[in-house]
A and B are shown apart, each in its own frame.
Chain A
Amino acid sequence: MATALFKSSRRAKGLLWTAGAALCAGGTAVILLLIMGYVVVQGIGALSWSFITHLPHPIGIPDGGVANGIVGTLIIVGIAAVIAFPIGILLGIYVGVYGHRHTANAIRFCADVLASVPSITIGVFAYALLVAPFKHFSAMSASFAFAILMVPLIVRTTEGAIRMVPIEMREAAVALGATDFQAMARCTLIAARPGIVTGLLLALARVTGETAPLLFTAFGSQFWELNPNNPMAELSLQIFTYAISPYREWHEQAWGGALILILAVFVLSLAARLALRRQPSANA
């Protein structure tokens, strides 16, 4: 029967290529599972109550943790969100509604350019602007760098979400006597909310996993630090330091930290997908 299946060599060639394509798709997906599997298996051993509540300990002293890194991540990403959310959403509204104007085109172009700048270069900029003049590293400068990374993403997703809302909706509101602002705030923005929230969550996920700019902005710390004006520990930075250290004990902690980090990022990414599902007209 197999000969019937491969009757024509063209068909055989097609089947072969299709199988190859399936292998590529499956293989790529399997790699994610492999990475996840390793992180879970290696990381679960390091996870413990003391790991998430203790400060880092010097080598040789057991029960060290990454508590200050977790708190540091929350503070740094939190401040970055406070800066980036309003600016990103406002720019997205501007570009989405007045998209035909020259200024809007300029903003869109700048957002594209900024989105393509490597994060390490953004770190250099944050260093030049907020670290060098004050002569000390600070969590603030890291938040600034993260905010710059987030804004272009938020602009593009907000613009997309607003464009998805039919223009008739705003026209109807205005026809009923609403001002421009009322139409925007009470109709268009409400309708576009799921898409906007998706963009915000994706931007959060993006910077939560980001490490490069932190090397010379937040710098890291061994201590509890809640003041954003001082150098601060951060989870992904701790993982980096531990991973390239020569100590087995620290390698284990790096896997533990990686497990926490990857879970946080995946939860944010999946939440972003769920948020989008609430937007009926969107499918992306």
Chain B
Amino acid sequence: MSPSTDFAGAAGMTTPTRRHKKPDWLASKIFTVALYGSCVVFLLLIAGLVEELVRGSMLSLRTFGLGFLWSSEWNPVTSQFGALPFIYGTVVSSAVALLLAAFSGVLAGIYLAEFAPRRVATGLALLIELLAAVPSVVYGLWGLFVLAPFVTNWLGPLLQATLGFLPIFQGNIFGVNMLLAGLILALMIVPTIVVVTRDLILAMPMRYREASIALGATRWEAVSKVILPALRPGIFGACMLALGRALGETIATTMVIGNRPAISVSLFAPGYTMASVIANEFTEATTNIYLSALVELGLLLLVISVIVNGAGRLLLRLLQRSA
């Protein structure tokens, strides 16, 4: 026995007998192999993901080149494929969602961190976090049968009566439209913004608050003029993460956006997103070039999401480092 194991015994650890020791030695070897093995598998998987998507979209990349991004013709019959209507629909629905969610999410985060009584804050936070757990198909179902009639019968006419001079609120109100998709997406992403904002504010040292209040600021001024400006990059980061989720969301948008590949200024018109067109047409793609165009949309979605999410994470990390 080596001296070290004697110490182990003396210190009250279970004395490692031979019987104990051998399997542990073996387990330790297996563990090490598994540890490095899983790393290799994981890195191969990432490489495989990128490789498969690039290979799958090669045909479309070669045929349409960069024109794929700004051509708006999507016609399987003549094998002409352009992604512009889908890019437009994705960007517009996500932008609507982000505008709504950023404003109300940051305010809600401030309330939870600064003003809500502790019990209220815990309860509200639980409900808001559960909102993030609702499956997207349930959002779609609710959007289709509950929110859609509300938008066509109440919200739409109301917006047209008050803000009807804006082109985005003109035209016929369709049953499923881009505004509806934007609203549903806003609900899906708002928890991210609320929770990150709240955590950022709570992590702020108390002395900032105390100093500004000592100088005569009201509590709201302490938040809006001292704490929020210091947290600006982090809040932008949270918004980027939320945007990333909205851009890639599939099922809920597919159910409520109308799935019509047309570009219309009005938010009350149906649209189409990149994720939705993949969801709807992938199993119906009969020609190679059709399939390839859809895979290219998937690749495009991957690139955009990775950039947006990466920017979000970077901003949050920068803030952590400077704090």
Q: Which of B39, B124, B140 contacts A94 (CB 8 A)?
A: B39
Considering the complex, which residues of chain A in the window 248-279 have a beta carbon less than 8 Å from any beta carbon of chain B?
Answer: 251, 254-255, 258, 261-262, 265-266, 269
User: Known contacts A17-B224, A243-B141: does B130 contact A32 (CB below 8 Å)?
Assistant: yes
Taking a contact as CB atoms under 8 Å apart, the answer to whether B306 and A110 are in contact is no
Taking a contact as CB atoms under 8 Å apart, the answer to whether A254 and B46 are in contact is no
Q: Which of B31, B107, B283, B301 contacts A118 (CB 8 A)?
A: B301
Q: In this assembly, does A281 line the interface, its C-beta being within 8 Å of a C-beta of chain B?
A: no
Q: Which of A31, A117, A254, A265 has the most CB of B within 10 A?
A: A117
Taking a contact as CB atoms under 8 Å apart, the answer to whether A107 and B124 are in contact is no
Taking a contact as CB atoms under 8 Å apart, the answer to whether B31 and A185 are in contact is yes
Q: Which of A118, A129, A182, A269 contacts B24 (CB 8 A)?
A: A182
Considering the complex, which residues of chain A in the window 178-195 have a beta carbon less than 8 Å from any beta carbon of chain B?
Answer: 178-182, 184-185
Taking a contact as CB atoms under 8 Å apart, the answer to whether A129 and B48 are in contact is yes
Taking a contact as CB atoms under 8 Å apart, the answer to whether B39 and A103 are in contact is yes
Q: In this assembly, does A57 line the interface, its C-beta being within 8 Å of a C-beta of chain B?
A: no
Taking a contact as CB atoms under 8 Å apart, the answer to whether B8 and A112 are in contact is no
Q: Which of A17, A25, A261 contacts B128 (CB 8 A)?
A: A25
Considering the complex, which residues of chain B in the window 20-61 have a beta carbon less than 8 Å from any beta carbon of chain A?
Answer: 24-25, 27-28, 31-32, 34-36, 38-39, 41-43, 45-46, 48-49, 52-53, 55-56
Taking a contact as CB atoms under 8 Å apart, the answer to whether A28 and B13 are in contact is no
Q: In this assembly, does A81 line the interface, its C-beta being within 8 Å of a C-beta of chain B?
A: no
Least CB distance from B215 to A in Å reads 13
Residues of B within 8 A of A60 (CB): none
Least CB distance from A227 to B in Å reads 20
Q: Determine the residue in chain B with the shortest Cβ distance to A242.
A: B141
Taking a contact as CB atoms under 8 Å apart, the answer to whether B116 and A243 are in contact is no
Taking a contact as CB atoms under 8 Å apart, the answer to whether B248 and A120 are in contact is yes
5 contacts between A and B (CB under 8 A): A18-B115, A21-B115, A25-B124, A117-B49, A215-B283
Q: Is the interface of A mostly helix, strand, loop or mixed?
A: helix
Q: Which of B49, B112, B124, B313 has the most CB of A within 10 A?
A: B49
Least CB distance from B28 to A in Å reads 3
Q: Is the interface of B mostly helix, strand, loop or mixed?
A: helix
Least CB distance from A180 to B in Å reads 7
Q: How far is the CA of A111 from the CA of B13 in the complex (A)?
A: 38
Size bin of chain B's contact surface: 35 or more
Q: Which of A34, A122, A124, A258 contacts B141 (CB 8 A)?
A: A258
Q: In this assembly, does A39 line the interface, its C-beta being within 8 Å of a C-beta of chain B?
A: yes
Q: Mark A6-41, 1 if CB is under 8 A from B, else 0.
A: 000011011101101110111111011111001100
Number of A residues near B (Cβ < 8 Å) is 86
Least CB distance from B39 to A in Å reads 6
Q: Which of B115, B133, B190 contacts A266 (CB 8 A)?
A: B133
Q: In this assembly, does A106 line the interface, its C-beta being within 8 Å of a C-beta of chain B?
A: yes
User: Known contacts A148-B45, A215-B283: does B34 contact A178 (CB below 8 Å)?
Assistant: no
Taking a contact as CB atoms under 8 Å apart, the answer to whether A243 and B144 are in contact is yes
Residues of B within 8 A of A (CB): 4-5, 7-8, 11, 13, 16, 24-25, 27-28, 31-32, 34-36, 38-39, 41-43, 45-46, 48-49, 52-53, 55-56, 103-105, 107-108, 110-112, 115-116, 123-124, 127-131, 133-142, 144-146, 187, 190-191, 194, 218-221, 224, 244, 247-251, 255, 275, 278-279, 282-283, 294-295, 298-299, 301-302, 305-306, 308-310, 313
Nearest 7 A-B pairs (CB), nearest first?
A: A118-B248, A209-B135, A14-B220, A116-B309, A177-B8, A181-B28, A21-B111
Q: Which of A119, A184, A185 contacts B250 (CB 8 A)?
A: A119
User: Known contacts A17-B220, A24-B104, A179-B24: does B35 contact A209 (CB below 8 Å)?
Assistant: no
Q: Determine the residue in chain A with the shortest Cβ distance to B140.
A: A243
Q: In this assembly, does A219 line the interface, its C-beta being within 8 Å of a C-beta of chain B?
A: yes
Least CB distance from A121 to B in Å reads 4
Taking a contact as CB atoms under 8 Å apart, the answer to whether B111 and A261 are in contact is no
